[in-house]
Amino acid sequence: MNLRSIVFLLILVSVVLFLAGFRLGKKIERIDKTYTPLLTPTATPKPTATPLPLRFTTFLSTDCGLKFLYPDYFEEKETATSEARLVYNNDEITVDCRKSKIEEFTKNIKNHQKEDEITIKNRKVQVYQLTDQKGGVLFLILNPQRTKKILITLPKNLLNLVAETVEFL
C-alpha cells in the first residue's frame, strides 16, 4: 500500500471516530437531562421555639390607688403595704408610694440618666434609666385622686403596656 492510501484511511478513520464521539456525546447529554435520582435529599426543618401565649393580669395597689396590666408570668412577692414587687427571672416591677422612697429618689435624681418622656393620662412623665437593673427604667407619677406620688420601676419593654393601662383609684 502506498503512503497516500494509508494517510487517506487514517483521515477517514479519524473523521468516523470524531462523528461517532459527537453522536455519543449528544446521547449522553440527552440521558443526563432526563435523569432523576431515586432519592432526593430533603432539608430537615430547623426546630423553632413555640412562643408562650401572652396573657395579662391586673395589678392593684389599694394603698397607692393604682392599677395596671402586666404579663401573668410575673409573680407578686410579699412586701410592705405601700410597696409591691412583681418578679420574673431577673426582671422586676416595683410600685412604691412610701414618702421615704420618693424623697430618696428626688434627692438622687441627678444620679439617673433621663431616658424618655411619656404621656400617662394626659400628663407628661419623665422616664429615667435604672443603673442597677439591666434594661430597666423608673418614673414618678402623681395620683391626682389622692395627691400621692408613686415611684414605679420596670423593664423597659413593659413601659408602654403599663403607661397605656394605668388607672388611678
Tell me the mean pLDDT in the region 120-124: 81
> What is the identity of the amino acid at 68?
F
Give the three-state DSSP class for 17: helix
β partners of residue 77: 85
For the whole model, what pTM was predicted?
0.64
Provide the grid cell at 40: 432526593
pLDDT at 109 over 60: yes
Which pLDDT tens digit goes with each residue over 13-72?
Answer: 999 999 999 999 998 888 888 877 677 667 788 887 766 678 888 888 888 888 999 988
pLDDT class of 134 with cuts at 50, 70, 90: low
Burial class (CB in 10 A: 0-12, 13-18, 19+), 66: buried
pLDDT at 133 over 60: no
Give the three-state DSSP class for 60: strand
Give the three-state DSSP class for 139: strand
Alpha carbon separation from 151 to 18, 54, 104 (Å, rounded) = 92, 26, 11
Per-residue confidence (pLDDT) for residue 23, from 0 to 100: 92
Per-residue confidence (pLDDT) for residue 17, from 0 to 100: 94
> What is the identity of the amino acid at 102?
I
CB 141 within 8 A of CB 149: yes
Tell me the mean pLDDT in the region 85-97: 87
For the chain, domains (ranges, CATH) are 56-168 (3.40.1000.10)
DSSP state, residue 41: -
